Amino acid sequence: KDYKGIYEDFGWIYINGPWLSGIRYWQKEDDGQNEIFSDRQSKSNYYKRLMNYSSGLGFMCLFFSYMIYKDSGLYLTEGLWSMKGAWFWKAFLFETPFALLRSLPALMVVLFAISFYKVYRKYSMLIEK
């Protein structure tokens, strides 16, 4: 009730979602006041949580990237770089989608780092005020 009360105080209307999923849906007409975290302390805590999430997930993806690349690299087809002509291109094109999937954790590290940086800038501007 307290959880719903906080949102309802700001004019948000609860929409029933799937009760097993844990996802909550809220709706609000645009009145220019869309931030729930309105005071400095709650915004600060919100930014700290976002930085913790992005850094934790980033380090986890960094660990997965290390585990993937430490032994073999992206392309796993044996002898790929010594193949000639059409055999090389067929093997290269076949292996490329799998290599892109193996590079996904490294891409996620970059995205989480960007997310962390953006939130850190907002947090530091809030602290400086």
Q: Give the pLDDT score at 34.
A: 65
The sign of the dihedral angle between the CA atoms of 110, 80, 77, 89 is positive
- Say if residue 112 is exposed, middle or buried (CB neighbours under 10 Å; 0-12, 13-18, 19+): buried
Count of structural domains within the chain: 2
Q: Give the pLDDT score at 87.
A: 92
Give the number of other CB atoms < 10 A from CB of residue 47: 20
What pLDDT digit, counting tens, does each position of 6-65 carry?
778 877 888 877 767 677 777 877 777 667 666 788 888 889 999 999 999 999 999 988
What is the pLDDT averaged over residues 68-74?
78
Structure token digits, residue 85: 């002509």
Q: Is 68 helix (H, G, I), strand (E, B) or coil?
A: helix
23 in the same domain as 84: no
50 in the same domain as 4: no
Q: How far apart are CA 50 and CA 29, in angstroms?
A: 26
123 in the same domain as 82: yes
